[in-house]
Amino acid sequence: MVGMLFLLNFTFSIFHYFHFGRMKSVIFVKNYLVMRVAVVGATGMVGNVMLEVLKERSFPITELIPVASEKSVGKMIEFGGLEFPVVDLTTAVTMKPDVAIFSAGGETSLEWAPKFEAVGTTVIDNSSAWRMDPDKKLIVPEINGDSLTAADKIIANPNCSTIQLVMALMPLHKAYGVKRVVVSTYQSITGTGVKAVQQLENERAGISGEMAYNYPIDKNCIPHCDSFLDNGYTKEEMKLSNETKKILDPAISVTATAVRVPVVGGHSEAVNVEFENEFELADVRKLLHETPGITLKDDPTTNSYPMPRFAEAKDDVFVGRIRRDETQPKTLNMWVVADNLRKGAATNAVQIAELLIKKGILTPMTVGTHN
């Protein structure tokens, strides 16, 4: 069945009449509310997870508009028991969705997000296109979601490796003031996309095929995520630095090394944090334990620590291996793991959309009388 999912809210009147001596009723539905959600890049790896997360969290969609490239147009996407046809970007803009969640790369976002904005759609963009634009907000709802206003029509979702880092740093920054962070990442191949997953599977099966990386990824670590910049860092490494400053505090220094590892399920990060103020490890653990969105998993006596295998398909950011850096004062080490496709991408984007509804910024449209 193709069509509308469910009525968000509606007013109705019931007209009763008699037919062959039996009372019959007709319901006239008036002014029903619709929430039309476009998922741009719906057939991609993040797009698929986006649809899962929208479903799981019962996001109040009345009409899904799956958007993908020409080769997928017309394909049906199942959502909530109904099927919705994949459309192209031009068609999607003419449908004027309430919200469009983009996960189709920077170039698509740069070109098309303003076109959606022009028809009144709020865009939540998962690419790097708008993240460092001073006029666009870079949002992790738990940290700076309060800053969103109705004027924010294109909202940037941070990079996956940044989201899990700032989630773990946020409560500690509030308590002790983060001064400097040294982070090394161990990033899942799912962050590169389906081509990388295929490369790993091919290598493990002994099949030669298309390569997502310059080198084999199986039994390897590749210290190269995204492209190199003139300063010798990769874009991924600079995202960690620049985005953390924009979200948390421009005064924080971040230096990063980003590494791709043959792992599916989540990104891991070894994080060294220097604070302005002294801390107690017990307080650090308590703070992290009490922070919504964080799961503390930190007990060396039972070999309990976060790992991507166990973070997979979960929305929390997992923190463990918390210990004092014994080489300098006011400094600790920790290990931070999260599913890069969930909190690192889809979940954070959907949480932004939920927040827009909660704040009354994203309001369902009222459609005229139907019966």
- Catalytic site positions: 160, 267
Residue 365: which of 84, 52, 95 has the closest Cα? 95
Is residue 242 at the binding interface for ligand 2RA, with CB under 6 A as the rule? no
Is residue 160 at the binding interface for ligand 2RA, with CB under 6 A as the rule? yes
We find the least distance from the C-beta atom of residue 186 to ligand 2RA, in angstroms, to be 11
Task: Give the burial class of 13: count Cβ atoms within 10 A of its Cβ; 0-12 exposed, 13-18 middle, 19 or more buried.
Answer: exposed
Nearer to ligand 2RA, 116 or 186 (CB): 186
Check: CB of residue 337 under 8 Å from CB of residue 164.
yes
Is residue 287 at the binding interface for ligand 2RA, with CB under 6 A as the rule? no
Is residue 187 at the binding interface for ligand 2RA, with CB under 6 A as the rule? yes
Q: Which residue has the tokens 């792992």?
A: 263
What x-and-dash track marks residues 339-368 binding ligand 2RA by CB under 6 A? -x----------------------------
- Coil vs helix vs strand at 9: coil
Segment near ligand 2RA (CB under 6 A), from 150-158, 184-192, 212-220, 241-249? 184-192
Locate 227 and state its tokens. 């492209």
Q: Which residue has the tokens 């982070």?
A: 183
Non-local (6+) Cβ contacts of 325 within 8 A are 272, 274, 331, 332, 333
Is residue 48 at the binding interface for ligand 2RA, with CB under 6 A as the rule? no
- Restricting to residues 206-225, name those near ligand 2RA by CB under 6 A: 225
Locate 139 and state its tokens. 């949002």
We find the least distance from the C-beta atom of residue 335 to ligand 2RA, in angstroms, to be 18
We find the least distance from the C-beta atom of residue 133 to ligand 2RA, in angstroms, to be 17
Nearer to ligand 2RA, 45 or 248 (CB): 45
Segment near ligand 2RA (CB under 6 A), from 105-113, 158-166, 308-316, 321-329? 158-166
Is residue 159 at the binding interface for ligand 2RA, with CB under 6 A as the rule? yes
DSSP string, 328-356: STTEEEEEEEE-TTIIIIIHHHHHHHHHH
Cα–Cα distance for residue pair 117/97, rounded to 1 Å: 10
Which one-letter amino acid corresponds to residue 281?
Answer: L
Segment near ligand 2RA (CB under 6 A), from 154-162, 289-297, 308-316, 355-363? 154-162
Phi and psi (nearest 5°) for 83?
-120, 135
Which residue in the shown chain puts its C-beta closest to ligand 2RA?
A: 191
Nearer to ligand 2RA, 41 or 191 (CB): 191
Segment near ligand 2RA (CB under 6 A), from 26-34, 187-195, 211-219, 282-290? 187-195
Locate 169 and state its tokens. 């740093």
**Direct distance between the N- and C-terminal alpha carbons of the chain, in angstroms, rounded to an integer:** 20
Task: Pick from 236, 269, 274, 298 the residue near ligand 2RA by CB under 6 A.
Answer: 236
**Around 251, how many Cα atoms within 13 Å sit in the side-chain half-sphere?**
7
We find the least distance from the C-beta atom of residue 159 to ligand 2RA, in angstroms, to be 5
Q: Which residue has the tokens 């590892």?
A: 261
What region does 3 belong to: left with phi over 0, alpha with psi -120 to 50, or beta?
A: left
Radius of gyration for the alpha carbons in the chain, expressed in angstroms and rounded: 23
By CB under 6 A, the count of residues binding ligand 2RA is 10
Task: Pick from 43, 109, 192, 244 the residue near ligand 2RA by CB under 6 A.
Answer: 192
We find the least distance from the C-beta atom of residue 41 to ligand 2RA, in angstroms, to be 12
Binding site for ligand 2RA (CB under 6 A): 159-161, 187, 191-192, 225-226, 236, 340
